[in-house]
């Protein structure tokens, strides 16, 4: 078969650890799978929705080199499908485990490696997505389970550790659960700038039964807050994005990217049981910074696409069940940071991530990882967390 393109590129990876049983002295590897296998596999293969692409079962009579390649990829921290991803990682990517909290135990947040800011003003109740802009960190907050604190957007002064409520209602109706936030800025004809905050609001009843006592009063939507006109309006309806989740604007501030959490895993039997899709959408912003011309950019291979980041080269990074997936501007999957590696042992779900210069920070609930990349993927001027 296609043995002439069957290559396994192995890069030695340094692992630093902090009380991480099972990771001490590990020599991890990066595996490269030719991109052709994303769309052409030997007849008789089997795949399912509860496992990633690298767990695809190949027929018993498949070339042993290909069998071994997929087996190695399933255990590797990084899986590359392109030269672009190889260049992101380099020849010796470096992994550091910054924090490792056991499933059962007591953590002193005042003296431990993981701590909470001493916020003395408005409480942040179940904060979710965040974005740094103009000296403040803007957080979406879901609120609590008994509705004593509702959902909304809150801003924290990074110097004073003081928070204030930016918005918490639309005409007297509470938001369902503000999930993620981004800011977009345009340059006006008079050389001034205008900035707009976009955020996703989604009912969490579908994801967390503990919110069952919170009846949604607003439909799921993407919203825009305009500080210049002092108004907040829905700008993308649930007919376009059923369960809006992650949201980001590109470096040029002319495209908005939104993930739709229509998971085939959460909702059961498969794709046809969903009224929405585990999709990533690219939506243009017109000259008045209004979303127009939505197009399907990608679909999560397993589960759903959650967190979303755009790097300086326009590549789209998404947190999915397979791991952090990197796509080109055109939507091609370039490679993944494999969740099976970062979640092994007692680690929790790979929940979110951040890009910081030449670093990728991964959060798997009770573990915090840092991967040093071979490229600077976001500049210091990029205002996001």
Cβ contacts of residue 95 below 8 Å, gap of 6+? Answer: 13, 14, 15, 16, 28, 77, 369, 370, 371, 372
The model's pTM = 0.85
Task: Work out the widest C-alpha separation in the chain, in whole angstroms.
Answer: 68
Same domain, 249 and 342: no
Domain assignment of residue 39, given as a range: 1-102+319-385
**Those residues with Cβ within 8 angstroms of residue 39's Cβ, 6 or more apart along the chain or in another chain:** none
**Do both 383 and 267 map to the same domain?**
no
Domain identity same for 125 and 264: yes
- What is the Cα–Cα distance from 247 to 385, expressed in whole angstroms? 12
Domain end (from 291, 310, 329): 310
Q: Are both 263 and 140 inside the same structural domain?
A: yes
- C-alpha 213/C-alpha 143 separation (Å) is 13
- Rounded (to 5) percent helix, strand, coil in the chain: 10, 40, 50
Q: Rounded to an integer, what distance in angstroms lies between the CA atom of residue 41 and that of residue 243? A: 32
Give the DSSP H or E segment for 338: strand 333-338
What sign results for the dihedral spanned by CA atoms 145, 147, 148, 149? positive
Based on the fold, state whether residues 304 and 324 are members of the same structural domain. no
Asked if 92 and 131 sit in the same domain, the reply is no
In three-state secondary structure terms, 137 is strand
Exposed/middle/buried for residue 213 (C-beta within 10 Å: 0-12, 13-18, 19+): exposed
- Would you state the pLDDT for residue 355? 92
pLDDT of residue 192: 93
Q: Kindly state whether residues 155 and 203 are assigned to the same domain.
A: yes
Number of domains in the chain: 2
Per-residue pLDDT 10s for the chain (385 aa) are 333 333 333 344 445 544 443 343 344 578 999 999 999 999 999 998 888 999 999 999 999 999 999 999 999 999 999 999 999 999 888 898 887 754 433 333 334 345 555 555 666 777 788 899 998 999 998 877 666 677 899 998 878 888 899 999 999 999 999 999 999 999 999 999 999 999 999 987 656 655 666 788 899 999 999 999 999 999 999 999 999 999 999 999 999 999 998 755 554 444 444 456 889 999 999 999 999 999 999 999 988 888 899 999 999 999 998 999 999 999 999 999 999 999 887 666 776 899 989 999 988 777 888 999 999 999 855 444 4
Number of neighbours of residue 250 by Cβ within 10 angstroms: 19
Strands (E) across 148-230 are located at 152-157, 162-167, 169-170, 173-174, 178-187, 193-201, 221-226
Give the pLDDT of residue 181. 96
Give the residue carrying structure tokens 């499908």.
81
Rounded to 5 degrees, φ, ψ at 151 are -80, 155
The CA distance from 13 to 27, in Å, is 6
């Amino acid at each position: 078969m296609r043995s002439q393109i069957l290559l396994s590129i192995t890069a030695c990876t340094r692992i630093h650890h902090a009380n991480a049983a099972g990771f001490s002295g590990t020599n991890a590897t990066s595996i490269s799978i030719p991109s052709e296998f994303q769309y052409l596999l030997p007849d008789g293969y089997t795949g399912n929705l509860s496992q990633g692409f690298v767990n695809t079962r190949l027929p018993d009579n498949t070339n042993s080199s290909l069998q071994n390649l997929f087996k190695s990829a399933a255990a590797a921290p990084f899986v590359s499908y392109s030269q672009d991803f190889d260049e992101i990682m380099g020849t010796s990517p470096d992994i550091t485990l910054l924090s490792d909290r056991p499933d059962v135990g007591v953590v002193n947040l005042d003296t431990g490696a993981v701590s909470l800011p001493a916020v003395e003003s408005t409480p942040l109740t179940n904060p979710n997505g965040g974005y740094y802009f103009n000296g403040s960190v803007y957080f979406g907050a879901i609120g609590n389970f008994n509705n004593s604190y509702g959902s909304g957007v809150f801003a924290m002064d990074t110097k004073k550790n003081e928070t204030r409520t930016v918005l918490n209602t639309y005409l007297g109706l509470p938001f369902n659960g503000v999930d993620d936030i981004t800011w977009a800025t345009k340059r006006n004809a008079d050389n001034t700038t205008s900035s707009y905050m976009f955020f996703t609001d989604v009912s969490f009843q579908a994801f967390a039964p503990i919110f069952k006592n919170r009846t949604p009063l607003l439909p799921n939507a993407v919203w825009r807050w305009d500080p210049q006109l002092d108004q907040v309006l829905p700008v993308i309806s649930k007919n376009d994005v059923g369960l809006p989740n992650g949201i980001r604007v590109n470096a040029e501030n002319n495209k908005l990217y939104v993930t739709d959490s229509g998971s085939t895993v959460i909702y059961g039997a498969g794709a046809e049981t969903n009224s929405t899709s585990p999709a990533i959408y690219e939506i243009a912003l017109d000259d008045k910074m209004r979303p127009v011309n939505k197009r399907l950019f990608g679909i999560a291979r397993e589960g759903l696409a959650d967190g979303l980041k755009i790097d300086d080269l326009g590549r789209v990074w998404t947190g999915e069940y397979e791991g952090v997936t990197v796509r080109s501007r055109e939507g091609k999957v370039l490679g993944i940071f494999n969740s099976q590696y970062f979640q092994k042992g007692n680690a929790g779900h790979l929940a979110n991530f951040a890009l910081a210069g030449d670093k990728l920070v991964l959060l798997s609930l009770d573990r915090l990882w840092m991967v040093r990349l071979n490229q600077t993927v976001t500049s210091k001027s990029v205002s996001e967390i």
